[in-house]
Amino acid sequence: MTVKLAIIYYSSYGTNHQMAAIAAEAAKAAGAEVRLLKAPETAPDHVVAGTDAWQAQAEKAADIPNATAEDMEWANAYLFSAPTRFGIMASQMRAFIDTLGGAWAKGALANKAVSAMTSAQNAHGGQETTLVSFYTTIMHWGGIVVAPGYTDGVIFKTGGNPYGYSHTQGTDFTDEVKSAISHQARRLVEVAAKLG
């Protein structure tokens, strides 16, 4: 069975975009068909344009399609990546998820393997609660949470978060960081393939 993985991210300044791209490469190498997608921007254009780094990221990601309910129905696995905002996912990601009521109501989101990643400006900026906020939604869908747990030693080397990779904004994407993200993506593909 081919795993059809939708990687949906939101990124104001590029951190989660980079995390999603690393995961996409690892998932493709593991044999998955991957769609790299972004949650639609909900901030007004003038607000985005008023912050140089935000505008630069919007331009960099202009060719990446916005995620849709059709993408969610196409996929048989999902990997989400979004920054934390006050201990939960960024509102842009939440807004996208809130558009999926029709797909959820007909069972199109159930029984699919799901994992999540996040970032924050500081090491204890709400990453774990943000990941749990994703997984709470997934449980409502009837999805199957595939957290990395402590299934690879690299988890301990990159912060020890068993819920999903979390990045401190502004720190480097070292080989260990890339390895942790890649491990999570591969694990998701492996579990999704087993679910058939």
Domain of 56, CATH number, reads 3.40.50.360
| Cα distance between residue 80 and residue 34, in whole Å | 13
> Domain tally for the chain?
1
Other beta carbons within 10 angstroms of residue 156's beta carbon come to 12
Q: What is the DSSP code (8-state) at residue 165?
A: -
Q: Say what the pTM is.
A: 0.97
Res 65: pLDDT: 98
Q: How many Cα atoms occupy the beta-carbon half-sphere of 160 within 13 Å?
A: 3
Residues of the chain with pLDDT under 70: none
- Give the closest residue to 81 by CA, choosing from 180, 194, 142, 166: 166
What's the domain range around 90? 4-195
Yes or no: say if 83 and 17 are a contact pair by the CB < 8 Å rule.
Answer: no
Res 196: pLDDT: 83
| Cα distance between residue 195 and residue 185, in whole Å | 16
| Cα distance between residue 104 and residue 181, in whole Å | 28
Res 109: pLDDT: 98
